[in-house]
Amino acid sequence: MRLSAIRNPHARARFRIDTYPAPVLDRLRKEKRSRRAIWLSQARTPVAALGALDQALLRALRTRGHAPAVEVPMRALGLAGEYGAVWMAIGGAAAAADPRRRSHWLTGALVAPAAIVVNFAVKRTVGRQRPAITEHPPLARAPSKLSFPSAHATSSVAAAGALSRIEPRAGVPLTALAALICVGRPYLGMHYPSDVVAGAALGALLGKLAPLPADRDAGAEQRAEDP
């Protein structure tokens, strides 16, 4: 090797690259493919494409927008959503402020933990494990390693739907709170986005079907009016 190659860093870099075996050079060239090319190569079927999209969205949410001003509130929302705590608190506060519909609010608040019970039954059946990004571990803890569907999403959407049926004017803020909790699950690395979508769909169904006192009262009045 010439002395000029040692003194010249560019020449030295060329020397090192040229000494790589051909198979290693081929592998290095292949690894320079763009993320889009890798995603397209994996998306051979619709199911594989959805899986790849799920992974891509998870990584994007887990690695972007993690300034303290965002991350701290998201952690707090995740903690508040555990076991439907925030929804039971909202229902309890509304019951205290609205004695005339106290039973309605209390029943609506109980939709959250009831939805979690249903959610866990589905989780046990599916058995999907939580996501793992080695270089970006989750930012919260969970009582179970099961992931599909998201219990936070199920309980939040179910409770927001049930409480909105009691007071429709509260629908927008309740739905916004539920949406933030849902987005926070993959943001914190706790769920795949598909877990959240499935959990929200299950929650929407439960929130609509939950028998509230208002529904029962309306049914009793209808029966009394029938001849």
Kindly give the residue spans of alpha helices, DSSP state H, lying in the chain: 3-7, 9-18, 22-30, 35-42, 46-63, 68-80, 85-97, 102-126, 151-166, 171-187, 193-209, 213-225
Distance CA 119, CA 48 (A): 25
Mean pLDDT for the stretch of residues 24-50: 61
pTM: 0.74
Closest CA to 142 of 67, 83, 54, 218: 83
**Which CATH number is correct for 66-219, 1.10.606.20, 2.60.40.420, 1.20.1050.10, 3.30.1490.20?**
1.10.606.20
Share of the chain above pLDDT 70, in %: 74
Parts of the chain belonging to CATH 1.10.606.20: 66-219
Residue 143, helix vs strand vs coil: coil
Residue range 134-161, pLDDT digits in tens:
788 888 988 889 999 999 999 999 999 9
Residue range 147-205, pLDDT digits in tens:
999 999 999 999 999 999 999 999 999 999 999 999 999 999 999 999 999 999 999 99
DSSP letter string over 36-55? Answer: HHHHHHH-SSHHHHHHHHHH
With tokens 């229902």, the residue in question is 91
Closest CA to 174 of 151, 155, 193, 192: 155
Residue 146, helix vs strand vs coil: strand
